[in-house]
Structure 1
């Protein structure tokens, strides 16, 4: 009985640990302790439980720093761990899209995928109007974060990379790649340049990564043109 009570008390904190990994990507215990203002011992206890239940896996840290002792481990969410977040309607959505595909064809699925993202351009324009200091990729990441995609922008070797640590429709997109295709199209329109998908959670990668090439000559995005 005492163990059951402890499990119930620990559950919200354990959820915070899993959420931190979801939003920040694979993380060490030390990083999680700092993010959540918990002791390393407490973090490791929760990580042990998440490992035992299959919600996370341990992997070698990607740091290039040489340190004494055993290499640090990073903890990443598994597919089962991701299932805890905003995916309870996957089965219903997949059934609806299968019906649409069977009755109206794959083009209808793509049309639906495009329509469900039709709000993105206006939302990004509104964010940039409220904060002109934001670049188009930064504004797009902010919009995506408000809709559960845990997105951020990193500097890559040939430009920037839009990284989405979470995709609420990943399981459905695995069966219907039109969802990813439409998303890439709207990213390209919002950013005013060709973008390339390097990885997607829907295809088994740990993060959705979109390459945004560096501009050789400045030119306005559709959002910038509307605000000028």
Structure 2
């Protein structure tokens, strides 16, 4: 009986020891969770600086498209200023009305129409139309069509058939201009330029300023005795 009590007591002690050992081992292997501590109370209200700090304002959403307007571009000025025109400034009618034509209005208009109908036709020396012209042939054919008839001849010969004119009379419409030592001639349009048969451009208008300025040798008008009609005389107006 005593032996049985001893065995039971020993069994209880062994079991209790085993349980204690197991609990102690589990406690050592369990992860420790360290709760952080704050130096300030958790429910402390925000400081005065945080309360008064301005909050950034939210930008409103764009509803309209952005249009970029470039500054107005100033007109660029030409590098070279034109000092002469590429065509006659004054019309034959205006010249005749102002008394600035050698011939009457009707004759001046006939001369103008004859020039325009030949405009651009190429130059060939010694010809007088209708498909090619040289300088004197062009002048002769234009005057023929306007009713002013005279014998076809060279520029130098036509100078001898003309009365020289000076001053403002040189620039009346229909006056003859002689150039290049009387080797070239044309019909005055106004004070700015003349019509002629150019070896490079054909029948054209050229300004006096520039290339031709120093090549002019004289201005003249056909003498009445060399023309077979008087319909083109200035006094017929």
TM-score (norm: length of structure 2): 0.24
Structure having the larger proportion of residues in helix? 1
Greater RCO, CA 8 A, separation 6+: 2
Q: TM-score, normalised by structure 1?
A: 0.24
